[in-house]
A and B are shown apart, each in its own frame.
Chain A
Amino acid sequence: MFLQQLINGISVGGIYAMISIGYALIYSLLGFSNWAHGDVAMIGAYIGFLFFATAKLPFPIALIIAIVGAGLLSLLNERIAYRRIRKNNSPTMFLMIAAMGVSIILQNFITVTVGPKFLTYPDVVPVSTFKIGTLHIGVLDALSLVVVLLSIILLIYLLNKTRFGLAIKACASNIAVASVLGINVDAYVMLVFFLAGSYAGLAGVLLGLKYTVYPQLGNVSLKAFIASVFGGLGSVPGAIIGGLFIGIMEGMITAFVSPGLRDIFTFSFLIIILLIRPSGLFGKNVSQKA
């Protein structure tokens, strides 16, 4: 039973991780948590649905369009809603409020246009289960785990082994200095938002496949945020581990303690982290903002 719950937890946690990565990337650059990130994932799910279910394109193509579309949306968010605040040197709380506004816009835009009805992806793979002894995992779940793993490896390679990754780390470290050194900060900010958005888009499609597509799909981002806090805001490896951990922990609490109180446990866990070690597992030393 424990092993089975572990598998369940990893399956959910993997998707949390994909979204947490986006939080980490954006936080590392701009120092704020992009509240609208989960809704970017939700739009990704809808785009995928549009091209796969409605336009009846082959799934891989619809997936790519969804990923790119979500990335573009994320980039647009930055350009339209956040850039001015950043340039004005307004308090970072303003960025969070703008993000909240964007989140409301995205959710309600979908509600008003497509409608609040729940949409179901047609089956991509035949619905069946892999069975190993007494353990089982759905074929779809197994496949999405593989996809998640591959994308994470790709991201780690991108960040650590390319010039692009180096530039991002420079910006993350100190935006002002990076810009003095000749790095086109604005361009990199856009690129990072695109990257974060595309991962969110992938997560969105996976979520849509696993469950259903509806305007509030992005609410899962709250858990992803807690995951990235746990891993250390701004740290990508932290976000991945955090996502997996939160997924597993929630599964365990649901199965062995109490599903009704599960969210209280998760939030208390968050408060405890914030009190004991606010920088999380791998985060930078968090100093009190003056």
Chain B
Amino acid sequence: MSGYYQGLLILVCINIIAVLGVSILTGFTRLFSFGNAGFMSIGAYTAAILSSNFHVPFLLSILAGAVLAAFIAFLLGKLTLNLQGDYFLIATLGFGESVRVLFNYIVPVTGGAQGFSGISVIPGNQLLTVAIITIVCIAIAWNIISSKFGRNIMAIREDEMAARAVGINTATYKNFAFTTSGFFAGIAGGLWAHYFTFISPLMFNLDKSAEMTIVVVIGGLGSLTGSIIASILVTVLPEILRAASEYRMLAYGIAVVLIINLWPSGLMGYKEFSFSWFRTLWVSTKTLVRKIGAK
């Protein structure tokens, strides 16, 4: 396969992983975060520093980056999750920006604005490695959603007061969702670093955070499948529509406003991919054919 398509697919996978986290957070707990690029950045720099300066094996450095990002998400969550939606959003935004500013500042560690280069490449067949990691992440996310955790989180989303009344410790579950989003973002960041072999704080800015949230909105708040599909679309469409790249952001803005007004459940709503679809499709096709045959 040509390097161009390989590269595109790797990028798609990395973006999917990052969006998985935001999907769990926003789609299932209704908390909007504009700082997840900060977690990506933490994951990226940690993995890069570990693998370049300390020769830690690839998988281990990615994991370490993700764990650190998750830990910081946990701390941040403790501080801010009892705030109202607006405040939480701004706090996460501030966090994301602060990470960027900080990494620009601590030049001896991160290289500052000049970036961190010479990161080792993803070992083995790059696409295969990334694809496997992506599948594992999707599996984890899926399990979270379909488990008791997932149901509790959705209960909080629907009616927090009621959830609390039933005895669900809302604070714990919200922070769990937030920490998870940090973990996934950290993995995505580590993969990003080893794919591009060069990172700079600017790569993980507010636009990136906003983009992740936009993807979740378009895909449907509350659907993992929707987020994955939307993520693929958002990564691939600009390449297909290279001619119209000027209008890309404009189209996203319009899409967001339209979707949140008319179909807040986005592409998939609360539905997930399921095999019963095929059965439904088969049945309706049969019915249709029979109707046409009868005419």
The answer to whether A binds B is yes
| Chain A interfacial positions (CB closer than 8 Å to B) | 32-33, 80-81, 84-85, 90-94, 96-98, 100-109, 111-112, 222, 225-226, 229, 233, 260-261, 263-264, 266-268, 270-271, 274-275, 278, 286, 288-290
CB distance from B69 to the nearest CB of A (A): 18
Query: In the bound complex, what is the Cα–Cα distance between A102 and B30 (angstroms)?
Result: 20
Contact count band on B: 35 or more
| Residue contacts A-B, CB under 8 angstroms, 24 given | A81-B261, A96-B85, A96-B89, A97-B213, A98-B256, A98-B257, A100-B256, A101-B214, A101-B252, A101-B255, A101-B257, A104-B210, A104-B250, A104-B253, A108-B247, A111-B249, A222-B93, A225-B90, A260-B105, A263-B101, A270-B91, A271-B80, A286-B84, A289-B84
CB distance from A23 to the nearest CB of B (A): 10
| Chain B interfacial positions (CB closer than 8 Å to A) | 30, 32, 79-80, 82-87, 89-91, 93-95, 97-98, 101-102, 104-105, 159-161, 210, 213-214, 217, 246-247, 249-250, 252-257, 260-262, 264
CB distance from A190 to the nearest CB of B (A): 17
Query: In the bound complex, what is the Cα–Cα distance between A106 and B87 (angstroms)?
Result: 24
Query: In the bound complex, what is the Cα–Cα distance between A288 and B174 (angstroms)?
Result: 15
B250 near A263 (CB under 8 angstroms)?
Answer: no
CB distance from B212 to the nearest CB of A (A): 12
Dominant secondary structure of chain A at its interface with chain B: helix
Query: In the bound complex, what is the Cα–Cα distance between A260 and B104 (angstroms)?
Result: 8
CB distance from B252 to the nearest CB of A (A): 6
Name A97's contact: one of B102, B160, B217 (CB within 8 Å): B217
CB distance from A76 to the nearest CB of B (A): 12
B256 near A289 (CB under 8 angstroms)?
Answer: no
CB distance from B102 to the nearest CB of A (A): 6
B98 near A267 (CB under 8 angstroms)?
Answer: yes
Interfacial chain A residues near B104, Cβ < 8 Å: 260
CB distance from B276 to the nearest CB of A (A): 29
A101 near B260 (CB under 8 angstroms)?
Answer: yes
Assuming the contacts A108-B250, A274-B87, asked whether A264 and B102 have C-beta atoms less than 8 A apart, the reply is yes
Assuming the contacts A226-B90, A286-B84, A290-B161, asked whether A101 and B101 have C-beta atoms less than 8 A apart, the reply is no
Name B83's contact: one of A81, A102, A278 (CB within 8 Å): A278
Query: In the bound complex, what is the Cα–Cα distance between A98 and B217 (angstroms)?
Result: 10
Name B101's contact: one of A32, A107, A226, A260 (CB within 8 Å): A260
Assuming the contacts A92-B85, A98-B260, asked whether A105 and B253 have C-beta atoms less than 8 A apart, the reply is yes
Interfacial chain A residues near B249, Cβ < 8 Å: 104, 107-108, 111
Query: In the bound complex, what is the Cα–Cα distance between A289 and B81 (angstroms)?
Result: 12
Query: In the bound complex, what is the Cα–Cα distance between A109 and B82 (angstroms)?
Result: 37
Interfacial chain A residues near B86, Cβ < 8 Å: 32-33, 92, 96, 233
A105 near B250 (CB under 8 angstroms)?
Answer: yes
Query: In the bound complex, what is the Cα–Cα distance between A268 and B80 (angstroms)?
Result: 12
Among A103, A226, A267, find the residue whose CB has the most chain B CB atoms closer than 10 A.
A267
Closest to A271 in B: B91
B257 near A105 (CB under 8 angstroms)?
Answer: yes
A97 near B98 (CB under 8 angstroms)?
Answer: no
B83 near A112 (CB under 8 angstroms)?
Answer: no
Query: In the bound complex, what is the Cα–Cα distance between A260 and B260 (angstroms)?
Result: 37
Query: In the bound complex, what is the Cα–Cα distance between A221 and B255 (angstroms)?
Result: 23
A96 near B101 (CB under 8 angstroms)?
Answer: no
Query: In the bound complex, what is the Cα–Cα distance between A9 and B85 (angstroms)?
Result: 30
Among B101, B247, B255, find the residue whose CB has the most chain A CB atoms closer than 10 A.
B101
Query: In the bound complex, what is the Cα–Cα distance between A92 and B260 (angstroms)?
Result: 11
A93 near B253 (CB under 8 angstroms)?
Answer: no
Query: In the bound complex, what is the Cα–Cα distance between A264 and B104 (angstroms)?
Result: 12
Interfacial chain A residues near B105, Cβ < 8 Å: 260-261
B97 near A267 (CB under 8 angstroms)?
Answer: yes
Name B253's contact: one of A32, A96, A103 (CB within 8 Å): A103
Interfacial chain B residues near A289, Cβ < 8 Å: 84-85, 160
Name A85's contact: one of B83, B87, B261 (CB within 8 Å): B261
